[in-house]
Amino acid sequence: DVVMTQSPLSLPVTLGQPASISCRSSQSLVYSDGNTYLNWFQQRPGQSPRRLIYKVSNWDSGVPDRFSGSGSGTDFTLKISRVEAEDVGVYYCMQGTHWPHTFGQGTKLEIK
């Protein structure tokens, strides 16, 4: 199985400051069709997960543009340009290139 490793696992951030989460996969996530199926999800406290970013860098509808995704191959990053209070929660990366699909351990973002 492809192992997804996120860092850091805990991320205290001051309001208005940037934040960055790394996600590394144990194998390349480039699929035979040329796409890279790496998604990012946000789970606010007490809520269901919500997809933010798909195929590395594409925003889902309604996602603020302060969120951005980048990366290639086995190395990916989610960035928040200026953290707001509503961004508190746990962030997960997930690969959909290889079966079984696998998630990272999650990164808990909190306000300092």
Binding residues for other proteins, rule: CB under 8 A, are 1, 35, 37, 39, 41, 43, 48-51, 54-55, 60, 90, 92, 94, 96, 99-106
How many whole angstroms from its chain centre is CA 24? 11
Residue 16 or 33: which CB sits closer to other proteins? 33
In the complex, least distance from residue 17 CB atom to other proteins, rounded to whole angstroms: 25
Q: How far is the CB of 101 from other proteins (least distance, A)?
A: 4
In angstroms, rounded to a whole number, what is the distance separating the alpha carbons of residues 66 and 46?
Answer: 23
Helices (H) and strands (E) in the chain, counts: 0, 11
Shortest Å, Cβ 69 to other proteins: 13
Contact 31, 91 (CB under 8 A): no
